[in-house]
């Protein structure tokens, strides 16, 4: 039996914009693939780049971080700082040979339910296409 690959995607959504955007997408009955696991965070600036590496380490196939558009941050500047961090971690991981599709970032505001569904679909499809993560993953099970 060959089951279709269902990726695991950790979606770190900022409480004030993207999470509300996801909410709106849900209320509007927009469809997107069911692979994302949402983790609500106060701000995209709260995302320690180590979370991204830790995600890969635990065998998460894709990591998607989403926050408010620049200028809209609930805490004024959180996403500006985050932007610099993300640029560096994304480049670093790509540099060592992690597929760029696995690390995704987006700005989704509270009113962009449509964009949320669209990005979620894109991220899901891209991660699905690159297959299960193998690099940097620790031993997933003790009993094989």
Nearer to another protein, 7 or 45 (CB): 45
Taking residues 82 to 111 in sequence order and writing x for each that binds another protein by CB under 8 A, - otherwise, the string is: -xxxxxxxxxxxxxxxxx----xxxx----
Q: Which 26-85 residues touch another protein, going by CB under 8 A? A: 49-50, 53-54, 57, 70-71, 77, 80-81, 83-85
Q: In angstroms, give the least distance from the CB of 83 to another protein.
A: 5
Count of residues that interact with another protein, criterion CB under 8 A: 42
Q: CA-CA distance, 120 to 107, in Å (whole number)?
A: 12
Site residues for another protein per CB under 8 A = 49-50, 53-54, 57, 70-71, 77, 80-81, 83-99, 104-107, 119, 122, 135-143
């Amino acid at each position: 039996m060959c089951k279709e690959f269902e990726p695991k995607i950790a979606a770190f959504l900022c409480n004030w914009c993207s999470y509300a955007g996801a909410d709106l997408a849900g209320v509007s009955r927009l469809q997107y693939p069911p692979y994302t696991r949402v983790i609500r965070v106060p701000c995209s600036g709260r995302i320690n780049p180590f979370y991204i590496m830790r995600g890969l380490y635990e065998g998460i196939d894709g990591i998607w971080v989403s926050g408010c558009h620049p200028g809209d941050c609930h805490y004024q500047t959180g996403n500006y700082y985050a932007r610099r961090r993300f640029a560096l971690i994304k480049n670093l991981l790509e540099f060592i040979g992690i597929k760029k599709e696995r690390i995704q970032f987006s700005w989704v505001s509270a009113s962009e339910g449509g964009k949320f569904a669209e990005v979620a679909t894109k991220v899901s499809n891209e991660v699905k296409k690159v297959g299960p993560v193998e690099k940097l993953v620790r031993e997933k099970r003790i009993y094989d």
